[in-house]
Amino acid sequence: MSKIDQAVELHAKGYNCSQSVACIFADEIGVDKKILFRANEGFGAGAGTMEGICGALSAAVMIGGLKNSSANLDSPN
């Protein structure tokens, strides 16, 4: 099943757009699905229901950061 199909399936279960996108990458980035679900709760309906930023885009940016970050707290650049 494609990532798109997986995200659509989660959204149909009631996940918000951000949770739907973030949770399908849990295994790939090594982050617990429950943590991603909780971390993306506030991005539903456009960042806290403000309809300002697409939740799916917010999740994609978060996943990109988690996947590509060096996690070097002493030298964050």
pLDDT of the residue at 56: 81
pLDDT of the residue at 46: 65
The answer to whether 22 and 37 are in contact (CB under 8 A) is yes
Neighbours of 75 (CB within 10 A): 6
Query: Tell me: the pLDDT tens digits for 12-44?
Result: 999 988 899 999 999 998 999 999 999 888 887
Is the pLDDT score of 4 beyond 80? Answer: yes
User: In a 3-state reduction of DSSP, which class is residue 72?
Assistant: coil
Is the pLDDT score of 55 beyond 80? Answer: no
Please tell me the pTM assigned to this model. Answer: 0.76
Every domain of the chain and the residues it spans = 3-68
Q: Look at residues 53, 72, 75 and name the one whose alpha carbon lies nearest to residue 62.
A: 53
